Amino acid sequence: MYCHAGADLRDNSAPICVFRIDSQNKPQATLFMSSYSVRHATPRDAKAIAEIHVATWQAAYKDLMPEEYLSKISVEKRLAYWREAIEFSEPQLLVATDGDEIVGFVGFDRSRDAGTKSTVGEIWAMYVAPAHWGKGAGLSLWDGAREGLKEEGCTQVTLWVLLHNERALRFYEHAAGFKREMPSLKTVAFGSAKLEEIRLKRAVD
């Protein structure tokens, strides 16, 4: 790991630039002081991470995935997964906090895509509780993950996003500086629905 467990990875007094969407569906930048801190996840964080994971999927994907599929996603199943991830640091996991409350998390490590170089990292997952969307928690998590990937020797980072997940694409492209790799489109099954995912990429620095 790239810093001592439990240490803050960013100065929570640092200014954050957040992109919001105006009435004409255009991103508008807003600069403000972030109240979020980012630290390594610990075993006691697993339940909060699982709860955020499920709540965010059900809110963000309600118009993209079948209701039947989303209703079967349970905190219990996610809890087992994230407990193991924290125990074995696969992926490495950070949480964003607002005071004592965990409001989001990011998992990152080497890229899982076949044929990629060892210097290519990947954001495996990043989710922020819906009540904290558009307030800077996502950028705080991205900053922490980028620092971790740099310490791991990664020079590039990728992630996969549903092609029609417009909120996520706006964040990663406009706020975090990722670019789409159009030839990377793939189809993934989510219950009875088959949806397209696209890979995004940028330099770590």
**Residue spans per domain, the chain:** 15-203
According to the model, what pLDDT value does residue 10 have? 38
Q: How far apart are CA 170 and CA 81, in angstroms?
A: 28
- Please report where in the chains the tokens 């310490």 appear, as a residue: 151
According to the model, what pLDDT value does residue 34 have? 65
DSSP letter at 176?
S
- pLDDT tens digits in sequence order for the chain, 205 residues long: 223 223 333 334 344 444 444 545 444 444 445 689 999 999 999 999 999 999 999 999 999 999 999 999 999 999 999 999 999 999 999 999 999 999 999 999 999 999 999 999 999 999 999 999 999 999 999 999 999 999 999 999 999 999 999 999 999 999 999 999 989 999 999 999 999 999 999 999 8
According to the model, what pLDDT value does residue 33 have? 52
Q: Which tokens hold the place of 152?
A: 């791991």
According to the model, what pLDDT value does residue 182 have? 85
Whether the ω angle into residue 91 lies within 30 degrees of 0, i.e. cis, is: yes
Task: Give which of 205, 201, 171 is closest to 16, Cα–Cα.
Answer: 171
According to the model, what pLDDT value does residue 91 have? 96
Helices (H), 101-151: 137-151
* Top CATH class, 15-203: alpha beta
pTM of the model: 0.83
